[in-house]
Chains A and B, each alone.
Chain A
Amino acid sequence: MSVNPSVYHYVRPEIIERLDRDDPFADVEKQATRYAYAEAILEVGAANPDVVVLDADVSKSIKTNLFGERFPERWFNFGVAEQNMMAAAAGMATTGLIPFASTYAVFATMRALDQVRNSIHYPRLNVKIAASHGGITPGPDGATHQGQEDLSIMRCIANSTVIVPADSVSCKKAIWAMAEYEGPAYISFTRDPVPLLYTEDYPFEIGRAVVIREGSDLTIVALRDLVAFSLAAAEALAKEGLSVRVIDCHTLKPLDEETILQAARETGAIVTAENNVIFGGLGSAVAELLVEHNPIPMERVGVRDQFAESGPYLEVIHKYGLDTPFIIEAARKVWVRKQAFFGGKHAVSSDHRSVSPTPSGA
């Protein structure tokens, strides 16, 4: 059975045609989203002279040193001093500059969290925090550099906006959107290369999740690198006869409640997939939404209550339960639960108009 391209939106044909292979992303173009940031900020900086870039000794890793070469007067390397960088960014923002403060996720959200909370978010200053090595994407660096909590931490701070692009195309659009947005915004990049998923018409808008695959039996809501694996999982599940919707929830906060609740109504079962701890991130956000509005069966894929370890990226995320097989397993499980939950009463009309499900116990 070949892949049906008509159910996909904004996904590159080269990706779609490979999705039913055993290793669909083996030979597709990839880029770490940190590099997409480094490229995008050059363009944003050229367009807006108020944009400045701050670094804390990892500019060569993120490649923001390129911004420094192009705009030396607007580039500030603070050395290994993330706390000063964040609070100084706040001070700059009070004068009308738009600082992009770059470091790794663990340092942005933990070492300098007090500054991020009290000096940036409490006064709602226009600082952009650009964090690489989010989730378990720095495979080889090991647990100290794996920002597996960054999304959970940033999500619980008032006034925060939390963005997690799945690929370079959406990442670049996110950087432009952040520069135009007035207020603090956090974006998390992958250290390791991830597939270029999207066509250039991908519609990035802060707070608007994107349905990238149509489906009616269940929905996978994913972010970061797990969006690609969710597409592969959806295609594998298609072979089992399941029609799986996939949502790229590139903005964790504010959560696109409308798109997720619509998926809940129309598909009756949800799997969340995130390269982030299982506490407080995407799975939690979706669960909180569903439990208050439409408590349908749900399963979560994410980093369990543990630290990971060093290793090649794909091996590490497999060992810690994040890649395609785990998403497939969660989907099968939620599908079985959905049958029991709805007693066969959940249905979606062929034109995808919403039909409110009636729980079997109601």
Chain B
Amino acid sequence: MSSDFKPMSVPELKEMAKIIRTDIIEMIHEAQSGHPGGSLSAADIVTALYFRMLRVDPENPGWPDRDRFILSKGHACPVWYAALAERGFFDKAHLRTLRKLGSILQGHADMKKTPGVDMTVGSLGQGICAGVGMALSGKLRGKDYHVWVVVGDGECQEGSVWEAAMAGNKWHLDNLTVIVDKNGIQNDWFVAEEMPVDPLNDKWRAFGWHVLEIDGHDMAQIVEALETALTIKGKPTCVIAHTVKGKGVSFMENVPAWHGKAPTTEQAEIALKEIKEAA
């Protein structure tokens, strides 16, 4: 781990989340393609992970003992790229190449192209299973790394999410934490109407997981939950994070259309202003 990195305090994390949100809007605007809604809803969670929780080394992204992070809802990778760039895994200039030919930043994250990406994702319901495999490997080899996976609530409609949930229980994977970015909206429409997944907390609990429920935009709550997850032994932890799709940009918040649409220049300017002026 780079010696010059110090885990951030809650106020510092809040400021960093604003930078991450700014990067998200700028890169999706530049690409004129991408998924702002789910990137913004996960921004506070991913910020807390990369700037406080994760034991990683940007100078040595393949460090065998590093903590693993998988954004299983891979379409939201702009938030991942922003965090990796701000954390120093690659030059921020790459952010402007998102989704362009020859870029290290693919439309859905590619572990072979992007330094710091621990698993290729994009097809929903698979990153969490890969996380199970990494956690099993950690147990087998007596490694103390932790595996963090962010899934979407729409993603929880995939059967393989529950296959992974069963496996986490079977093998007592207390080195695995899943965070559900419960923003309530999927590609087509509202999750509750399109294909209800609630009660998610009871479902995860019934699958044998320790469940925590938090406001996914309250940085203090996020930090507390993630730190608690590390202390739970004998079973994996699932943090249900209640979030707002498009959080931080008023016209994107809770609007299904912003799942996978790039802002115009005018919209991007408004969005960046709102993010900058937010408390």
Contact = CB atoms under 8 A, between A and B. Distances in A.
6 contacts: A79-B166, A83-B160, A87-B160, A90-B126, A97-B137, A118-B126
Nearest to B132: A88
Centre residue among B111, B160, B167 by max chain A CB count within 10 A: B160
A94 B120 CA distance: 10
A22 interface: no
A119 B130 contact: yes
B153 to A, nearest CB: 19
Give the interface size bracket for B toward A: 20 to 34
A96 interface: yes
Interface string A95-124: 111010000000000000011001100111
B112 A88 contact: no
A79 B112 CA distance: 30
Nearest to A91: B133
B17 interface: no
Centre residue among A87, A94, A99 by max chain B CB count within 10 A: A87
B64 interface: yes
Given A81-B163, A88-B167, A95-B138, A123 B111 contact: yes
Centre residue among B110, B132, B137 by max chain A CB count within 10 A: B137
Interface string B156-197: 000110011011000100000000000000000000000000
B137 A92 contact: yes
Given A81-B167, A83-B160, A94-B118, 5 more contacts: A74-B140, A81-B163, A87-B129, A90-B129, A124-B112
B134 interface: yes
A91 B123 contact: no
B169 to A, nearest CB: 11
Interface in B103-132: 110-112, 118-120, 122-123, 125-127, 129-132
B167 A84 contact: yes
A79 B164 CA distance: 11
Considering the complex of A and B, which 3 residue pairs feature the smallest CB-CB distances, nearest first? Answer: A91-B133, A87-B129, A91-B130
B261 to A, nearest CB: 24
B220 interface: no
Nearest to B137: A95
A118 B110 CA distance: 10
Nearest to A87: B129
Contacts of B166: 79, 81, 84
A96 B63 CA distance: 12
Contacts of A91: 119, 129-137
B118 A96 contact: no
Nearest to B131: A91
B167 A87 contact: no
B129 A88 contact: yes
Contact of A119 (B120, B164, B167): B120
Contact of B164 (A73, A84, A92, A124): A84
A202 interface: no
A120 to B, nearest CB: 9
Interface in A38-79: 52, 73-74, 76, 78-79
A78 B140 CA distance: 16
Contacts of A81: 160, 163, 166-167
Contacts of B64: 95-96
Given A81-B167, A84-B167, A94 B130 contact: yes
A143 B167 CA distance: 30
Contacts of B159: 83
A115 to B, nearest CB: 6
B110 to A, nearest CB: 7
B238 to A, nearest CB: 16
A114 B111 contact: no
A83 B163 CA distance: 8
Contacts of A263: none
Given A74-B140, A90-B119, A114-B123, A84 B112 contact: no
Contact of B110 (A88, A92, A123): A123
Contact of B140 (A73, A86, A122): A73
B113 to A, nearest CB: 10
A76 B64 CA distance: 22
Nearest to B128: A87
Centre residue among B120, B125, B135, B164 by max chain A CB count within 10 A: B120
Interface string B65-107: 0000000000000000000000000000000000000000000
Contacts of B137: 91-92, 95-97
A250 B171 CA distance: 37
A88 B122 contact: no
A89 interface: yes
Contact of A87 (B110, B126, B136): B126
B129 A84 contact: yes
A91 B127 CA distance: 8
A94 B111 contact: yes
Given A52-B140, A81-B163, A87-B160, A118 B133 contact: no
A115 B123 CA distance: 8
B120 A114 contact: no
B125 A88 contact: no
B167 A122 contact: no
A262 B166 CA distance: 53
B140 A115 contact: no
A341 B228 CA distance: 77
Given A78-B163, A88-B136, A92-B136, A119 B112 contact: no
Nearest to A80: B163
